[in-house]
Amino acid sequence: MQVIEGNLYLPEGGTYTLSWAGTALASVNGGTYAASPMTVGGLWGVGLPAPALGAIATKKRGNSSWQGHTGLVVGANKDQVFLLGGNQSDAVNVAAFKCSEIVAYRWPAEVPLPAPHKLPTTIAGARSGVSEA
């Protein structure tokens, strides 16, 4: 998946289609994330070795080579990462995803890297197993 201008993705050989999750991220930050393409593999911004508050997490969806999901990190523990995102059960909300599902944590190249900090380890109301399709 490649996000172009913050809200479109192009499947390999496919046509442009609205990316609900990408649009939600671009809307939250006034288009800051739209400056560079983002892929499921995380070729946008600066890579982070671990989740950080406000970082963008990317994950694959199913067995697809191009479908994925993105969200803002709002918490994490040893098993789960909590993402604020769009198209999580067809809504904007906080959802829990297995750490093993996350393929990259990214930070905008033009923004100073986050200082070391502790993340919330649980988020009230966050559901696991949400659909991001």
Decide if 103 contacts 60 (C-beta within 8 A).
yes
pLDDT of 82 above 70 = yes
Under the banding of pLDDT at 50, 70 and 90, the label for residue 111 is confident
Segment 24-52 shows an average pLDDT of 64
Amino acid present at 122: T
Q: Indicate yes or no: pTM above 0.85.
A: no
- 10 vs 126, more confident: 126
What is the rounded average pLDDT for all residues in the chain? 74
Amino acid present at 100: S
Task: Give the per-residue pLDDT at 34.
Answer: 45
Smallest CA-to-CA distance from 102 within 56, 66, 63 is with: 56
- 76 vs 31, more confident: 76
Query: Residue 74: how many CB atoms within 10 A of its CB?
Result: 19
| Among 45-49, 64-68, 95-99, the least confident range | 64-68
C-alpha distances out from residue 10 to 33, 71, 76, Å:
17, 19, 30
Radius of gyration of the chain (CA): 14
Overall size of the chain counted in residues: 133
Decide if 58 contacts 106 (C-beta within 8 A).
yes
**What SS3 state is found at 24?**
helix
- Rounded to the nearest 5 degrees, what angle is found at the Cα of 31, between the Cα atoms of 9 and 47? 70
